Structure 1
């Protein structure tokens, strides 16, 4: 589990195809001795498992295997050497939950359609896939590229988020441009609330159908 509070920005150092997956090395500021093999690190949003670590001329690094499912569902398929990634290590019991509950399980990708810059801040307008847009509500939470953000406005399948100067400075968002695809994870509570409503409707419909059959 994660909070969506970015603790480092890593950089893709190498990508090695291995059948249906890719082994990716990411340079980071985390001390190598504190990175445990098998640990979970959110890399640009997706929760990935550490399969190797070490130190190099550029600092510490860790490696992750990115499978076919992750490549298909996220923007990891477009990562290249030099791509900057928002990083967050998994939540520990007792840590401050300053963002919102994030699983690192990406629902899909969304497109940046417009960026408004003012007073050192940037407002991003994002277009979500229709099947995911129903989970996004004004003043609700959303995780984009592993960053916990508050939804400002919603207009159909489009919504906006505002990034303050600090967030722009400590994440990869300062380099984002219109047309970029970002990893989207909808709020966990919104997903379960929608499923409960669907289940209630299904139960009501089944009950109504049973009543008709008895007539």
Structure 2
């Protein structure tokens, strides 16, 4: 479990491609690894990965086929910047929101506009994720806990302060950049809960029925 508060920015130093998955080596930058051991979890651009090897300057982690398919890791290359966060401890400050490290899809930055000292970013989410994104709700972008300020269909706007940009990989964002998205975990479980007894049935036709179910239950106007 993570909070979406980025501790450091690392970089991919090596990639070993296997038949369908891969192993990455990460220079962890300023991330404190003194309390990290093999098997621990570290979020890399919002993707929860298990540490399989440790060195003085970083760590190795395996990336499964499922993770590659669902995230921006499909386009990863040497030098790729990674937002890093160690798994939270029970006595940590909870400064962001609940982030599981399980990416739901990939979004694309469509516009970047300066706004005073801040910057506005418009991001296009996959159509199937749009229903989970709410104005003033929480969303994880490359592992960063952020708040949506405006919604327009599958597009949503973020207003980011200079500190967040400087301390994350957002400093490298440009129009067309693809980012990992994780929706608020509450929205994911609410949809499942609303299915009630139907949750045990086949999911082949779930996309057809979910919005009707929410409407009948009074959650949609």
SS at match of 1:34: coil
Cα deviation code 1:171-210 (max 9, x no counterpart) = 00011011111000000011122223343898xx9xxxxx
SS at match of 1:148: strand
- Whole-Å separation in 2 of the counterparts to 1:158 and 1:188: 19
Structure number with greater Rg is 1
SS at match of 1:77: helix
**Aligned: 1:83 with 2:84:** no
Question: Mean Cα displacement is larger for which, 13-22 or 139-148?
Answer: 13-22
5+ residue gaps, structure 2, are 200-211, 213-221
SS at match of 1:116: strand
Instruction: Report the counterpart of residue 109 of structure 1 in structure 2.
Output: 106
Instruction: Report the counterpart of residue 47 of structure 2 in structure 1.
Output: 46
Cα deviation code 1:37-72 (max 9, x no counterpart) = 1000000110000000112xxxx1100011111111
Superposition deviation, residue 27 in structure 1: 0.3
- Corresponding residue to 1:68 among 61, 65, 68: 65
SS at match of 2:112: strand
5+ residue gaps, structure 1, are 206-215
**Aligned: 1:194 with 2:215:** no
Superposition deviation, residue 19 in structure 1: 2.3
Instruction: Report the counterpart of residue 30 of structure 1 in structure 2.
Output: 31
Which structure features the higher share of strand residues?
1
**Aligned: 1:128 with 2:125:** yes
Cα deviation code 1:57-108 (max 9, x no counterpart) = xxx1100011111111100111111111100000101111110000000001
TM-score normalised to the size of structure 1? 0.88
CA RMSD of aligned residues (A): 1.8
Paired residues, number: 200
Structure 1 contact 32–54 (Cα < 8 Å) conserved: no
TM-score normalised to the size of structure 2? 0.86
- Whole-Å separation in 2 of the counterparts to 1:147 and 1:31: 18
- Whole-Å separation in 2 of the counterparts to 1:64 and 1:143: 21
- Whole-Å separation in 2 of the counterparts to 1:65 and 1:86: 17
Instruction: Report the counterpart of residue 15 of structure 1 in structure 2.
Output: 15
Structure 2 contact 114–120 (Cα < 8 Å) conserved: yes
